[in-house]
Amino acid sequence: MAILPIAIYPRDEKILRERCKPVTKLTDRTSRLIEDMIETMYDAAGVGLAAPQVHVSQRIFVYDIGDGKPDALINPEITLSEGDEIGPEACLSIPRLHGDVPRFTRIVVTGLNRKGRRVRIDAVDYLARVFQHEIDHLNGILFTDRAIQSSLYEITEEEEEERRAEGRKKRRGRGEAGGGIHPVEDEPI
């Protein structure tokens, strides 16, 4: 597995603003990309990572919201959405920026998992937020596009490094190679 370079806004705006192409065939290369994305997500102490964030224009994202069971969704589609709430978000591609974003509290998503099996996931609360954030990436939308603009604030480089170190520490504390991290209020999605 490899740690991939993360696309940073605005430098890498072109890939981050692109609507990604559907995956038409699962290959060994797709599996390696997913494994590398998971490793990259863990290294950055995130809970989700979309393919365009690692410079790949494909409809894939990976996630682990703290249960130590990472997975991927390929060609995800939201088929139902309901409820709404405003909650904090951040993004690995926009380091140090945080803000409040309105999202649905429940969504149903269909797609393929990392083994290529068709799945239907009824996601609520935090998982629904993570899925919506990552699916937005696949459509060229950043969290700042949906954020309440007056809520946006920047943390210091030191605070960002502390956040990442804490995420890595939690992973090591679980005793799992590449294990999960626990979500916290301002965990970058």
Catalytic positions are: 134
Farthest CA pair distance, the chain: 44
The packing angle between helices 28-43 and 157-173, to 10°, is 120
188 vs 74: CA distance, rounded Å: 21
| Residues 112/119, Cβ–Cβ less than 8 Å | yes
